[in-house]
Amino acid sequence: MCYFANVNSNTVSVINTSSNAVIATISVNTFLSGISITLNG
């Protein structure tokens, strides 16, 4: 999985790296500037 911050649309795309397909789009608050991912969630 890959998570991509879409700054201009205030969303995060979840991408399946095996198929290169967007499998989900998550709405987030305004002023998105990046995301943090940790190994333990």
Q: Rounded to 5 degrees, what are φ and ψ at 34?
A: 165, 180
Domain count along the chain: 1
The residue that leads in pLDDT, 35 or 22, is: 22
Q: What is the pTM of this model?
A: 0.71
Domain-embedded: residue 1? yes
Domain-embedded: residue 41? no
Q: What is the pLDDT of residue 41?
A: 56
Res 19 pLDDT > 90: yes
User: What percent of the chain has a predicted confidence (pLDDT) above 70?
Assistant: 95
Domain-embedded: residue 34? no
Q: What are the tokens at 33?
A: 């500037």
Task: Give residue 15's domain range.
Answer: 1-29
19-to-16, 33, 37 alpha-carbon distances in Å: 6, 26, 21
Domain-embedded: residue 22? yes
Domain-embedded: residue 18? yes
Domain-embedded: residue 6? yes
Q: pLDDT class for 40, splitting at 50, 70, 90? A: confident
The residue that leads in pLDDT, 9 or 35, is: 9
Domain-embedded: residue 37? no
- Cα–Cα distance for residue pair 21/40, rounded to 1 Å: 25
8: three-class secondary structure by DSSP: helix
